[in-house]
Amino acid sequence: MVLTYKQGYLSPQPFLIRDITSRFPPPLSFSLKLQGQPKLRSIVKMSATEVTNPTISYESFAVKPPLHPTYDLKGIIKLALAEDAGDLGDITCLATIPFDMEVEAYFLAKEDGIVAGIALAEMIFNEVDPSLKVEWSKKDGDFVHKGLQFGKVHGRAHNIVVAERVVLNFMQRMSGIATLTKAMANAASPAYILETRKTAPCLRLLDKWAVLIGGGRNHRMGLFDMVMIKDNHISTAGGVTNALKAVDLYLEKNSLQLEVEVETRTLEEVEEVLQYASQTKTSLTRIMLDNMVVPLSNGDVDISMLKEAVRLVNGRFETEASGNVTIDTVHKIGQSGVTYISSGSLTHSVKALDISLKIDTELALKVGRRTGRA
């Protein structure tokens, strides 16, 4: 058997050349107008978030991914597959699995949680082999319980196994984020839960997509889509007022329309922001109330400072609580009257949800019961 390598994959001839060239079409792009940014980026190029398989469409996603002007979702999939394939491809599959053998493999939840990454999994399978057929009994955002078979993929065993780990790596991380987000969003009500930019490098869009699937809301995507005046900006600008003035002048000079948030760390800074806003036309839209949740020795938190800050703002701007936010404290923080609660823990140290993809599901369930994972 002659093996031919092209674009990160190794497969027997002549299937590889015919199939790989069909999987890697020219990059897809479309125009998109960003809301609230008519003068900054009225038209931007959106990288390929649609798929080549006509049976899968971006519009059909249960929860659509957040918008980003440069992020290439298909590119991330290709990088992940190429990372696994290296320069020789899946040697174990080539050695052990007859290339034309067809099987069914089943997705198995090994713990309770919110499933996320189903739409992405379909894109990955389609990238590896468009002839693979995927079916689901659940959709992104649905609850799955331990031991549930919630999806299956049918087709060439070789290609299913090649895609398996990449699919699961994405789904497990996204499902872990969605599961924690759902719990925190429910506890935070009536406040809305937000993530931060504390995401895995190069996986930001996927991390933030998982937050949406879990019922949270997105903070800014990056440095480009919102002005966020933080402590280091304030320190170098010479104070809160100077920083706000500089931002307002910059936006006006460059004809930019963006949401503006400023971080405050004391009640005095809150009052300074409010005084500036009362005397000047400003683009300010939100005030961050940072570390105004004080942890107590008994594990509880004191939110009196946070509540006072919310009282001072009195609805003139959106408010966002940040710092000391956990699944145990978020409910109490949500009762303070803040609009939003942001937490880096949603993405920076989340526990992945245990999911497997098995051809022999009977044996997998037997082993799972033995180990308490099914």
Tokens matching residue 326:
């956990």
Length of the chain: 374
For 64-93, the DSSP string reads: PPPP-SS--HHHHHHHHHHHHHTTT--HHH
Tokens matching residue 65:
């991914």
CA distance 172 to 153: 17
CA distance 175 to 151: 15
Which of the following is catalytic: 230, 316, 351, 369?
Answer: 230
> Quick check: is 290 catalytic?
yes
CA distance 356 to 352: 12
Which of the following is catalytic: 41, 197, 198, 245?
Answer: 198
For 140-176, the DSSP string reads: TT-EE-TT-EEEEEEEEHHHHHHHHHHHHHHHHHHHH
Tokens matching residue 11:
């497969």
> Quick check: is 230 catalytic?
yes
Cα–Cα distances (Å) from 47 to 69, 166, 251, in that order, read 7, 20, 27
Read off φ and ψ for residue 4, nearest 5 degrees: -125, 135
DSSP code, position 19: H
> Quick check: is 308 catalytic?
no
Cα–Cα distances (Å) from 17 to 26, 93, 183, 312, 318, in that order, read 16, 18, 47, 66, 55
> Quick check: is 263 catalytic?
yes
| Torsion-angle region of 193 (φ positive above 0: left; ψ -120 to 50: alpha; else: beta) | beta
Tokens matching residue 273:
């922001």
Which of the following is catalytic: 72, 90, 290, 354?
Answer: 290
> Quick check: is 111 catalytic?
no
**Which one, of 152, 150, 134, lies nearest residue 142 by Cα?**
150
Q: Which amino acid is at 159?
A: N
Which of the following is catalytic: 146, 165, 220, 265?
Answer: 165
DSSP code, position 201: T
| Torsion-angle region of 219 (φ positive above 0: left; ψ -120 to 50: alpha; else: beta) | beta
Query: Which residue's entry shows tokens 């005095």?
Result: 268
- Report the first-to-last Cα separation within the chain, whole angstroms: 40
Catalytic residue numbers?
165, 198, 230, 263, 290
